[in-house]
């Protein structure tokens, strides 16, 4: 979506004084047909990064340990879930493995889950939370769900750094397969972005969307083999497991980081197809309705 030079000069778009300042949107050449497409995220990548930076800064400002909460929070949950599921309930990913093996597999699943969960939750309310911005002239609305997904991915990358270090210390080290992590993260980002665009649109029309999303995500977490191995899934619910993109995504990461082998082609196909489908549907719905957002928020 283009920005006329005279308008951009007269009305730089900034956050209100109560929030961190966001850099001015630079004018760009008009798009053919007025359709910005997903390329808007790339053209306004500086704006997206500003949002990500201020999101992280706002989240941890004033805290005694600041950014380290990104790592400490999942570690505390890891200790809790390991104690409950492994030591109390006796769940194991390998019958002959100990607590370290279980903790690594659990943490890998939790890192992926946090990335998906945080992106979808914040994307759902991203338009309403920034109503003052989308009422500006030619504001690139897609950057709002885009930046919250990017912020969630950045947090996930940091947590993966902790996982990799733990795999070296507590596990069997790493292999060249870990170099494929960026591809898996890219596919996951496409999936979450598409779903986030769809939920952001629904969140504008229906305020209660966020409550449904939280409820569904809680259910989704427990039906996904994060705390237990996929092999323990009841046979009568096997189809549910096969249609669960998050289950395949968690499996892909575990294969690359912990099992030192390529993921099964079936899992790769499911994840990629779901990501493409999610992105196409999510952007199509978002693009079709985004002109109505300023009148509804």
Q: What is the tens place of the pLDDT at every residue in 222-272?
A: 999 999 899 889 899 999 999 999 999 999 999 999 999 999 999 999 999
Helix (H) or strand (E) holding 60: helix 45-60
Q: 104-124 burial string, b = 16+ CB within 10 Å, else e?
A: bbbbbbbbbbbbbbbbbbbbb
Give mean pLDDT in consecutive 10-residue pieces for the chain, a chain of 297 residues. 39 42 46 54 90 80 62 78 84 82 90 94 94 82 94 90 87 91 96 96 94 96 92 90 94 94 95 96 94 86
pLDDT tens digits, one per residue of 111-123 = 999 999 999 999 9
Q: Do residues 194 and 283 lie in contact, with contact meaning Cβ atoms separated by under 8 Å?
A: yes
Check residue 31 and give its pLDDT: 39
The tokens describing 40, both together, are 């808007």
What pLDDT, on the 0 to 100 scale, is given for residue 182?
A: 95
Tokens of 160: 């993966």
Residues 6+ apart with CB under 8 A from 270: 242, 245, 248
d(CA 279, CA 269): 15
Which pLDDT belongs to residue 38?
A: 77
Collect all residues with Cβ–Cβ distance below 8 Å to 143 and sequence separation of at least 6: 40, 41, 44, 47, 48, 51
pLDDT at 57: 77
Structure confidence by residue, pLDDT tens digits, 172-193: 888 999 999 999 999 999 999 9
At 192 the pLDDT is: 97
Do residues 258 and 104 lie in contact, with contact meaning Cβ atoms separated by under 8 Å?
Answer: yes
Helix (H, G, I), strand (E, B) or coil at 283: helix
Question: What is the reported pLDDT for 169?
Answer: 85
The secondary structure of 218-262, three-state, reads HHHHHHCCCCCCHHHCCHHHHHHHHCCHHHHHHHHHHHHHHHCCC
d(CA 92, CA 90): 6
């Amino acid at each position: 979506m283009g920005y006329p030079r005279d308008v951009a000069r007269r009305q730089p778009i900034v956050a209100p004084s109560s929030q961190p300042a966001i850099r001015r949107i630079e004018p760009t050449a008009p798009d053919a047909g007025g359709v910005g497409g997903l390329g808007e995220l790339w053209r306004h990548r500086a704006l997206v990064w500003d949002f990500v930076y201020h999101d992280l800064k706002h989240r941890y400002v004033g805290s005694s340990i600041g950014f380290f909460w990104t790592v400490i929070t999942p570690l505390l949950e890891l200790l809790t879930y390991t104690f409950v599921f492994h030591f109390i309930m006796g769940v194991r990913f390998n019958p002959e493995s100990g607590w370290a093996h279980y903790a690594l597999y659990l943490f890998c699943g939790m890192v992926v889950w946090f990335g998906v969960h945080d992106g979808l939750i914040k994307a759902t309310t991203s338009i309403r939370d920034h109503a003052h911005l989308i009422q500006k002239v030619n504001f690139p609305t897609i950057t709002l769900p885009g930046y919250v997904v990017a912020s969630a991915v950045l947090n996930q990358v940091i947590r993966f750094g902790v996982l990799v270090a733990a795999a070296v210390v507590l596990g069997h080290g790493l292999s060249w397969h870990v170099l494929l992590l960026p591809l898996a993260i890219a596919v996951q980002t496409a999936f979450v972005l598409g779903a986030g665009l769809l939920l952001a649109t629904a969140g504008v029309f229906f305020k209660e969307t966020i409550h449904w999303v939280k409820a569904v995500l809680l259910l989704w977490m427990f039906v996904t083999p994060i705390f237990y191995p996929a092999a323990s899934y009841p046979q009568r619910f096997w189809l549910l497991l096969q249609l669960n993109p998050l289950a395949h995504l968690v499996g892909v990461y575990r294969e690359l980081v912990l099992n030192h082998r390529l993921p099964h082609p079936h899992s790769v196909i499911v994840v990629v197809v779901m990501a493409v489908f999610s992105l196409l549907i999510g952007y199509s719905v978002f693009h079709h309705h985004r002109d109505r957002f300023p009148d509804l928020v």
